[in-house]
Amino acid sequence: MLPTTRWVLAGFSHWRALVTCLVFLTATFTNAAIINTAQPFIGVTHYQIIEAEDGSTLNAGLFNLPRPVVINIMEIDPDAEGVSFLMQPDNGIKPGEVTRTTTSDFVDSVNAQIGINGDFYSDAGSSGSENYANLTHTNASNGIIYSASFVNNEPIFNISQNNNPRIVTANGADSYTNNQGVTLYNAIGGNQRIVKGGVNTAPNDSYTNALNPHTAIGITYDGHVLLMTVDGRQTNYSEGMRTSEMADLLINYFNTRQAINIDGGGSTTMVMDDSNDGLANTRVINSPSDGSSTYEPGYERLVANNFAVFATPNPDYVPLAQPARPEPPGAQPFITDLAVFDDFEATKGHFTNTPSFSASSHNVAASSTAALDSEFAQDGQMSLRLDIDNTNETPESMQLRLVSGTSHPLTNLYDEDKAMSSEGYVGLFLRLEPGNDPLYISMLLDDGIVTNHRQERAVFQEVIADGKWHLYQWDLSDSSQWQNYNGGNDVIDGPNAFIDSLYFSSAPATSGGSNWSGTVWIDTIAYNPDGDLSSLVPEPSSMMLMLTGIIGLNIRRKLS
């Protein structure tokens, strides 16, 4: 077999599986997925399954999927020379049961060759740079069981010390034993048994029927281990699968007898160290959903634990190329003149969400409000009055991310289709009464394009508490005024920029400060592509100029 090939009825060792496959093919579908294969290690086959949105896989392969999806499956012969397995161990005397790590870091740390993410988990606190977690299901590493079952009959994948794979069931909730009396060696529990005895057993519930990224482990009729990841939440690239669909695919095309579903979503990760260069340089071969878009892969999450495979490199191996992603659209048309995004004269404009809407806020009570106000205005008749109530929780802090639109660039366009470039100034006017504790203002911008964007944060400026309107603005082209907030690079490098939110803090940082409560007025959020926003500062009236002159004259007379 060639190192890389389209898969056509290969690898079935049972006639029953072949018949099942041919029956499945009688269903009517318009597209067909392709399967690319490679043999990175002795006894290991990497399957890359692609159903493309653009029709490029039309009638190109053996079976059909109902939406764009990318799937990676590792089929591992446990009897092959050099193959062994390891479930990540516990963290000893540290808090929780495990210390969270990325899948690639764990695989590198033990010099393994393949890895997938492990069990569902809950947070167990942190210390310095370490994050701890408690696991949801049964877990064992090299014979040490360190996490109990969640529910009775919970499915558990186990690979014995002599590489015998089996799926057993937990003997009750909070149990360390199983109904089959099997000694657990390297084991992981799952939330669903999706295949049992070659039959689809995924339950008909909301979890099954939601389209999500998923990770699963299966066992074929000939005793091979299947590690499966499904990418998801990436429109027009890979939109995810239902666990019942995964079960059908495993049964009909991979000769699967037993399979369980394990942690998925943003945790779904498959990695491989296939360089055969003697270095620990594992790479991610799927596209995790965290930080992903249609056009760019996501990044690894710190997951609770991981399952690793050791194997001997295949000298004839040719790696598979990463699946092609759709070409991103170009930039939105640029705003070419001074633009006021929100003046709050008739509506709250883009700021219709409650102040406590964002999960990025800290110690902002649900009673906080943002409402139109006619008592003060920087220009016109109205402004937006922001009343911040603090929850007074410890540690003391107040950070409020006041979201613009839905925080997505498509809801923060100007004049229906225009956006800022990476040059010019963006800013707003604020009014704060005297006597308030220090308050700081920043602004979060998305930069990139509407479908591929990252967040940058403007440097904090202290809000002047004198009861007057003051302008706070930032130069988009000055990298010293911008810092990464989420997935950014400390610079507004476009091609477009979009207002994500206004960010208020009781400290010149995204944490800390006092339990600030109070009122601040907002008006005239604007952008000027050709310079700063000083033209929006009202000129003194003739009466004010005259009074200023008279006062100055009287002072000079007294001094003389």
| Secondary structure string (H, E, C) spanning 359-409 | CCCECECCCCEEEEECCCCCCCCCEEEEEECECCCCCCCCEEEEECCCCCH
Which residues neighbour 339 within 8 Å (Cβ) at sequence distance 6 or greater?
Answer: 414, 415, 418, 526, 527, 528
SS3 121: strand
- From start to end of 224-296, where are the E strands? 225-230, 256-262, 270-272, 283-284
C-alpha angle 321/234/129, rounded to 5°? 85
Q: Which of 301-305, 329-333, 489-493 has the lowest mean pLDDT?
A: 329-333
pLDDT at residue 318 above 90? Answer: yes
Token output for 88: 């990540």
Q: What is the pLDDT of residue 63?
A: 65
pLDDT reported for residue 352: 96
18 versus 367: the higher-pLDDT residue is: 367
Q: Residue 150's Cα: distance from chain center in Å?
A: 26
Question: In the predicted model, is pLDDT for residue 545 greater than 90?
Answer: no
Rounded to whole angstroms, the Cα distance separating 81 from 310 reads 10
Residue 17 has pLDDT above 70, yes or no: no
pTM of whole model > 0.75?
no
Q: Are 204 and 146 in contact (CB under 8 A)?
A: no
pLDDT mean across residues, the chain: 90
Q: Which ranges of 308-375 would DSSP assign to H, the alpha helix?
A: none
Query: Which of 494-498, 534-538, 545-549 is the least confident region?
Result: 545-549
Bond preceding residue 434 cis, omega within 30 of 0: no
pLDDT (tens digit per residue) in 221-277 = 999 999 999 999 998 999 999 999 999 999 999 999 999 999 999 999 999 999 999
Q: Residue 202: pLDDT above 50?
A: yes
CA angle (508 as vertex; 507, 511 as ends), nearest 5: 55
Q: What is the pLDDT of residues 59-115, one digit of tens each?
A: 555 567 889 999 999 999 999 999 999 999 999 999 999 999 999 999 999 999 999
* Per-residue confidence (pLDDT) for residue 450, from 0 to 100: 83
